[in-house]
Amino acid sequence: MARKALCLAALCALARPALAHRQAGLECEPPPFPPIGTTGVPTNALIFDFAAPVLEGCPGCPVATLPAPAPWDFDARYRVPATPLAPDTAYQMIYQESGGPTIGSFTTGSGPDLVPPTAPIALGHYAAPDPNAYTFCLADRLELVPIVPATDDQTPQSLLRYVVSDVQPDGGSVIIFNDLTPVELGDGGQALALPMGLSGLPDGYSVQARDLAGNLSPPSAVQAIDVGPTCDFAESTAGRGPPSLLALWLLGLLLLRPRKR
């Protein structure tokens, strides 16, 4: 038992995948939100851009924004209107996209949205055969998390975005991927593409949806990331990369070292 515990502790500390992730600029970042041309945006919209957004109700009529409240306060690029937006009104914003700044607009609906989406269902995870098949963010490994999408009373399902959180042993959670747009799978299902793979070994993860107002859905059931009893990664974690050879060599030296009598 002690030997198994030592094995697990050493492997968890040392044998993380030895991958050199390549990131490709803005392609690795969530796109601005709400998307250009969106209609029916709630008057309490959550706004995301690569810099503090310049929002205008008319040319030369700036609209003040503030840092978004929790849980979106982890990134200063999330903003909310300082006062509710006017209903049924077009607003312009400078969208900082990969090709450069673009002036676009969205149109509000009749009022605020205070109701969160339903909880999505996470269906496990696995490694995609081609790391760059589902995203423009270049990476050495891509993991897919198939989901049953959430639904919302005001935001169309196609505009819902998703976050993946590391669920820790004490019940707390930390967002590790945010503002994900589902990709279409060959069987007609949808999945979240994680360019850098799951983190948080050996914890679990959950998925939540958010709407145009930033209302966050209840989390999906926690999906486990397990380490097998013989120091290999269990089959349920097929999305994991192979353990580092250096880590296994060091572990072997530790386990085979003569013991003092």
Q: Once rounded to an integer, what is the mean pLDDT over residues 61-79?
A: 90
pLDDT of residue 235: 33
- Predicted confidence (pLDDT) at residue 9 exceeds the cutoff of 50: no
The two beta strands, 55-58 and 90-97, are antiparallel
Q: Which domains does the chain have, with CATH numbers?
A: 1-16+243-261 (no CATH), 26-107 (2.60.40), 115-241 (2.60.40.10)
Amino acid letter, residue 134? Y
Q: What share of the chain in percent tops pLDDT 90?
A: 39
pLDDT of residue 129: 79
Residue 68 banded pLDDT, cuts 50, 70, 90: very high
pLDDT digits (tens, 9 = 90+) for 118-170: 999 999 998 887 767 776 666 677 889 999 999 999 999 999 999 999 888 88
Q: How far apart are CA 196 and CA 176, in angstroms?
A: 10
- Predicted confidence (pLDDT) at residue 101 exceeds the cutoff of 90: no
Q: Once rounded to an integer, what is the mean pLDDT over residues 63-73?
A: 91
Q: How far apart are CA 101 and CA 50, in angstroms?
A: 10
Measured on CA atoms in the order 217, 45, 151, 123, is the torsion positive or negative? negative
Give the other-Cβ count within 10 Å of 68's Cβ.
19
Assess contact for 19 and 26: CB atoms under 8 A. Answer: no
Angle of helix 245-256 relative to helix 2-14, nearest 10 degrees?
150
pLDDT of residue 236: 38
pLDDT digits (tens, 9 = 90+) for 161-218: 999 998 888 888 888 888 999 998 888 899 998 887 775 566 789 999 999 999 999 9
pLDDT of residue 200: 56
Query: In the chain, which residue ranges form alpha helices assigned H by DSSP?
Result: 2-14, 245-256
Give the other-Cβ count within 10 Å of 199's Cβ.
15
pLDDT of residue 141: 74
Residue 53 banded pLDDT, cuts 50, 70, 90: low
pLDDT digits (tens, 9 = 90+) for 168-182: 888 888 888 889 999
How would DSSP label each residue in 119-165? PPEE---EE-SSTTSS-SS--S--EEEEEE----SSS-GGG-EEEEE
Q: Collect all residues with Cβ–Cβ distance below 8 Å to 153 and sequence separation of at least 6.
A: 113, 115
Give the other-Cβ count within 10 Å of 130's Cβ.
7
pTM to 2 decimals? 0.75
Q: Once rounded to an integer, what is the mean pLDDT over residues 5-23?
A: 37
pLDDT of residue 227: 53
